[in-house]
Amino acid sequence: MPSSILLSCFCFLLIYTFSTPSSATILSNETDRLALLAIKSRFHDPSGVTSSWNNSVPLCLWTGITCGRRQQRVTKLDLRNQSIGGDLSPFIGNLSFLRSINLENNNFHGDIPNEITLLFGLETLTLTNNSFSGTIPNNLSHCSKLIEFNVLQNNLQGEIPEEMGNLLKLETLYFGENQLTGQLPASIGNLSALQVFDVRANGLSGTIPYSLGQLRSLYYLHLGENNISGMVPLPIFNISSLVYLFLPFNRLSGSLPRNIGYSLPKLKVFSISSNNFTGHLPYSLSNASNLEKISLSENYFSGISIDFSSLKSLSLLDLGQNNLGTITGNDLNFLTSLINCSKLEVLGLNDNQFGGVLPNFIGNFSITMSSLAIGGNQIYGSIPPGIVNLVNLASLGLEQNQLSGTIPQGIGKLKKLQILYLYGNSLRGSIPASLGNLTLLNKLWLSSNNLKGSIPSSLGNCQNLMELSLSKNKLTGILPQQILGISTLSLVLDVSDNLLGGPFPSQLGNLKTLIALGISGNRFSGEIPSTLGSCTSLEILYMHDNSFNGSIPPSLSSLRSIEKLDLSSNNLSGQIPKYLETLSFLIYLNLSFNHFEGEIPTKGIFNNKTGISLAGNERLCGGLVEMHLPSCPTKRLKKSKTPHLKLIIPVIVSCASILHHHFHSKKEICTKHFKFVAHGRTISNGFLCGAEQGY
Average pLDDT of the chain to the nearest whole number: 89
d(CA 502, CA 130): 58
d(CA 59, CA 118): 22
Could you count the other beta carbons within 10 Å of the beta carbon of residue 397? 23
Reply yes or no on whether the pLDDT at 657 is more than 60. Answer: no
Q: Which helix (H) or strand (E) holds 590?
A: strand 588-590
Find the range with the poorest average confidence among 51-55, 153-157, 191-195, 682-686: 682-686
Give CA separation, 190 vs 16, 158, 195, 211, 520, in Å.
47, 21, 12, 8, 65
* pLDDT: which is higher, 640 or 149: 149
Going by C-beta distance under 8 Å and a sequence separation of 6 or more, which residues neighbour residue 129?
104, 105, 106, 152, 153, 154
Going by C-beta distance under 8 Å and a sequence separation of 6 or more, which residues neighbour residue 421?
375, 396, 397, 398, 399, 443, 445
Could you count the other beta carbons within 10 Å of the beta carbon of residue 101? 21
Give CA separation, 176 vs 83, 200, 236, 248, 557, in Å.
21, 4, 20, 14, 48
pTM: 0.84
Give CA separation, 633 vs 250, 331, 620, 679, in Å.
64, 71, 11, 19
Going by C-beta distance under 8 Å and a sequence separation of 6 or more, which residues neighbour residue 460?
436, 480, 481, 482, 483, 485, 486
Angle between helices 642-659 and 667-678 (to 10 degrees): 170
Mean pLDDT along residues 532-543 = 97
% of the chain surpassing 70 pLDDT: 87
pLDDT digits (tens, 9 = 90+) for 150-169: 999 999 999 999 999 999 99
d(CA 620, CA 615): 9
Position 612, amino acid: I
pLDDT digits (tens, 9 = 90+) for 471-490: 999 999 999 999 999 999 99
pLDDT digits (tens, 9 = 90+) for 428-468: 999 999 999 999 999 999 999 999 999 999 999 999 999 99
- Closest among 590, 474, 490, 583 to 542, alpha carbons compared: 590
Mean pLDDT along residues 381-404 = 97
Q: Which helix (H) or strand (E) holds 453?
A: strand 450-454
Reply yes or no on whether the pLDDT at 1 is more than 50. Answer: no
pLDDT digits (tens, 9 = 90+) for 551-588: 999 999 999 999 999 999 999 999 999 999 999 999 99
54: confidence class by pLDDT, cuts 50, 70, 90: very high
pLDDT of residue 377: 98
pLDDT of residue 650: 45
Reply yes or no on whether the pLDDT at 6 is more than 70. Answer: no
Mean pLDDT along residues 522-534 = 97
Q: What domains can you pick out in the chain, each with its CATH number?
A: 31-269 (3.80.10.10), 509-633 (3.80.10.10), 643-692 (no CATH)
d(CA 289, CA 247): 21
* pLDDT: which is higher, 622 or 420: 420
Reply yes or no on whether the pLDDT at 286 is more than 90. Answer: yes
Angle between helices 684-692 and 667-678 (to 10 degrees): 160
* Full DSSP string of 13-52: HHHHHHHSPPHHHHHHHHHHHHHHHHHHTTEE-TT-TTTT
